[in-house]
Chains A and B, each alone.
Chain A
């Protein structure tokens, strides 16, 4: 892909002349410059942004939709939408958080289409306290994974997280797998920080309870 980047690279202040002084005082996140270049017509810069975040976006979409083909389509749609709306990205959040937010919306939309008679939203599964009350108090084996090979373990992890309601699965994915901060997760999901914390607690406890079936001490390994 040809690049429109001139041989002498422009300074950030040339690309974004109205940056406030406090932004200039700290070294900007490298994405700020890449986004500015992409806005200015540099396709290589946009391609670099895809390289950096395609894995994260794909994983997030697959975790939420539990469908690989959907995740592929969503990954394409997310970056294409981001490309079309680059001018709307104001840099108030990280570019990656902005992408994740688009990915979550696209993924939930897919789930809605799949279940046309049911609404799927971040709020659909928070009406109950189920999942906040631990029942299994058995310690796990010292190294719980060693009873399973990689393929079996991957299947256990897929099946277990697939059993979570979408709202919990999404919060766990962003916060604990993709390592977003609580604030970034809240921003990406359009939720308050307390709501994220509450859902994260339930998601973690429900997953723990379900994995205990496989990893609990004294229990025979359950084949995935």
Chain B
């Protein structure tokens, strides 16, 4: 297995969807190719850093405002004509 073959299998390798025979070849390649080993390590960290640090905030205030706006539109659309707005919000 060369570096190009390895890259073609990288997604399956990360996702644990690689056949056992190919997995052995991938591991063998990683044991001998420091470049591909770095690519695997840093790509895994790329995924981890995005999963661990959501760059966009979604505060409760925004959540409440959006949900109220959506429900207002739904009720005004007339699909639920018999429903009246309650003074009490639903508990979280």
Contacts and interface: CB of A to CB of B under 8 A. Distances in A.
A25 interface: no
B50 A54 contact: no
Contacts of B41: 139-140
A222 interface: no
A140 B42 contact: yes
B79 A176 contact: no
B22 interface: no
Q: Say which size band chain A's interface belongs to.
A: 35 or more
A109 to B, nearest CB: 18
Chain B facing A: main interface SS: helix
B20 interface: no
Contact of A204 (B46, B74, B82): B46
Interface string A171-197: 010001101001000000000000001
Contacts of A75: 66, 70
Interface in B55-87: 55-56, 58, 62-63, 66-67, 69-71, 73-75, 77, 79-80, 82-86
Interface residues of B, number: 46
A157 B56 CA distance: 10
Contact of B46 (A155, A201, A207): A207
A201 B10 contact: yes
A112 interface: no
Given A43-B74, A72-B62, A137 B39 contact: yes
B12 A197 contact: yes
B24 interface: no
28 contacts: A1-B86, A2-B86, A4-B82, A43-B74, A46-B74, A51-B90, A54-B58, A54-B63, A54-B66, A55-B58, A58-B62, A58-B66, A83-B79, A84-B77, A137-B35, A138-B38, A139-B42, A145-B53, A172-B50, A176-B51, A177-B54, A201-B7, A204-B11, A204-B46, A205-B39, A208-B42, A208-B43, A211-B42
Interface of B: 7, 10-12, 14-15, 17, 34-35, 38-39, 41-43, 45-47, 49-51, 53-56, 58, 62-63, 66-67, 69-71, 73-75, 77, 79-80, 82-86, 89-90, 92
